[in-house]
Chains A and B, each alone.
Chain A
Amino acid sequence: MRMRAMIAVAFAVLAASPALAGPVEDLISGARQECRGCDLSNASFKKADLSGVDLTGANLSGASFHRAILKGANLTDVIAEDANFNLADLSGAVLAGGRFKGAMFYEAQLSAAKAPGADFSYTMAQHARLTGIDLTGANLDASVLKGARLNNADLTGASLNRTNLDKANIGRTRFDAATIDGAGFVETTGSGAAFRDATITQTDFFGARLDNADFTGARAHANRFTRAKVDLGSIAPDQLTNNIMPDGQVQRSGQ
């Protein structure tokens, strides 16, 4: 009888222990602040406050962080393919080396986040706030950043093949040494953007307003600058080829 009572008490204690609730529940309740390398794929963290949590190396593929708060969270080297970060607050979070291919960041807050070398290819980040984000060396191929705010962001060495930045704000953003091919900068605005040593090809700058942009050392080939407010004078003549210039003139090689 006494043994039975002890077993019952032991079960009750174990059942009440947060460790038994599982990592998802523990992270949501705040009982746990780290889950490095955990498999959290397809989990729902909707509206959860995960500020400052350490999820380094975790598998977040297919997980939902809709409206979640991840301020200052550590998502270094996570795998978060097709994850949902719509309306999430990731300001100041570390996403370095993360794999976010196909993830959604619609209207997400990523200001001052650090994501060097991360893979954001095929992401949907329309109207996201990316002010001051570090995207050096990041892969943004085929991502949609329409209407995003990228002021003061650093995309040095980033890959922007078929990236859609239509109507985005890129004031003082650095695209130095970036590879930009088949991208869209239609009606993009912002002064002081830098494209130093960038390779820009087959990209559409129709109606863009890029006052004081710096193209020193850049190569621009077969782009459309129709109706753009941009000064391409800093590009060496032999590196400015086959473009449609802001005045509508079609440029021939070296003209």
Chain B
Amino acid sequence: MRLAAAALWLGLAMAPLAPSAGLAQAEAKLTYVPAFTIWDVKFGAPITQIPLSAVALIACGTNGGPPSVPLRDFTEFATCPAEASGLHEVFFTYDDEQDYIAKALEDEYRFAQGGTSIYAHPVVFTVLVDAAGIARGIRIVTDERAGERDRRVAVRLADNLRGRYSPWSPACEDIPATDGQQPVGSIFIHQICTGTSPDGDATMRLEATYFRKKGQTSISRETQQVQKNYFQSATRLEVVQQPFAPDATPVR
């Protein structure tokens, strides 16, 4: 067993120098990476660039929320009403065949990817499409339907994304509490970062929130029961190609 582990370690350590079919098989067993990810969406190319074999569900988006009208394929993008920017929001999820095999086998930890997620955070992906069917942007919002634990750490996804977009030199601003917002315990986070791609072609806006909204209290005043899920915790990223601009409406 130790020999096998050492052999695997040696194989992984040598991977950049001497990739082999055996190692590729070993890695394939260890990890699962979707064939197409949200990061593969090319701005300026048709929405149909996303291979149907790589997605499970396609629907109209709801500003980063759950899906609305189901679509047969990406060519039906115009079914989704245009936002104020003129862009249509199209929701999709990654192909989930392997995830459900793992669920059926009750072996859910076999796959590191864990469904439609980024950096292990469950998220909602949407692609922003212009009237001609050209992808002009992406929107990634942490999934509000996730369980309490995932929701509580949803704000931390912003750290990963700030790192990912560091070449864009994002400028970050801490937003003070407004409208009765309160910290969760002693922590209040409301930060908005904006940046431009090095080639000036696209702009990004990243918003991280972690606080209690007005009326969200940890204990119910009426029943004195603990209200576990009464807090705002989210990360919202929009990256759009010029001349379009990210939605600048802050979370309230």
Q: Which residues of B contact A148 (CB under 8 A)?
A: none
Flag whether B100 is at the interface (Cβ < 8 A).
yes
Chain A window 94-127, contacts with chain B (Cβ cutoff 8 Å), 1 for yes, 0 for no: 0000000000111100000000000000001010
The answer to whether B97 touches A66 (Cβ under 8 A) is: yes
User: In the complex, which of the residues B52, B100, B105, B106 contacts A87, with contact meaning CB atoms closer than 8 Å?
Assistant: B100
Interchain CA distance A46-B103 in the complex, whole Å: 17
Q: From A107, which residue of chain B is reached at the shortest CB distance?
A: B100
Beta-carbon contacts under 8 Å, A56-103 to B = 64, 66-67, 84, 86-87
Q: From A64, which residue of chain B is reached at the shortest CB distance?
A: B97
Q: Which residues of A contact B30 (CB under 8 A)?
A: none
The answer to whether A84 touches B103 (Cβ under 8 A) is: no
Q: Which residues of B contact A126 (CB under 8 A)?
A: 103-104, 106
Flag whether B172 is at the interface (Cβ < 8 A).
no
Number of A-B contacts (CB under 8 A): 34
Interchain CA distance A106-B98 in the complex, whole Å: 12
The answer to whether A106 touches B103 (Cβ under 8 A) is: yes
CB distance from B95 to the nearest CB of A (A): 8
Interchain CA distance A84-B56 in the complex, whole Å: 15
Tell me how many residues of B have a C-beta within 8 Å of chain A: 11
The answer to whether A104 touches B97 (Cβ under 8 A) is: no
Interchain CA distance A166-B243 in the complex, whole Å: 56
- Summarize A's interface: helix, strand, loop or mixed: loop
Interchain CA distance A47-B104 in the complex, whole Å: 18
User: In the complex, which of the residues B52, B53, B100 contacts A106, with contact meaning CB atoms closer than 8 Å?
Assistant: B100
Interchain CA distance A108-B110 in the complex, whole Å: 21
CB distance from B107 to the nearest CB of A (A): 11
Interchain CA distance A105-B97 in the complex, whole Å: 12
CB distance from A159 to the nearest CB of B (A): 21
Q: Which residues of B contact A67 (CB under 8 A)?
A: 56, 97
The answer to whether B104 touches A104 (Cβ under 8 A) is: yes
Beta-carbon contacts under 8 Å, B131-154 to A = none
List 17 additional contacts besides A87-B100, A104-B100; criterion CB under 8 Å.
Answer: A46-B53, A46-B97, A47-B52, A47-B56, A67-B97, A84-B97, A84-B101, A86-B97, A86-B103, A86-B104, A87-B96, A104-B105, A105-B104, A106-B104, A124-B105, A124-B106, A126-B104
**Chain A interface residues (CB < 8 Å from chain B):** 46-47, 64, 66-67, 84, 86-87, 104-107, 124, 126, 144
**Chain B interface residues (CB < 8 Å from chain A):** 52-53, 56, 96-97, 100-101, 103-106
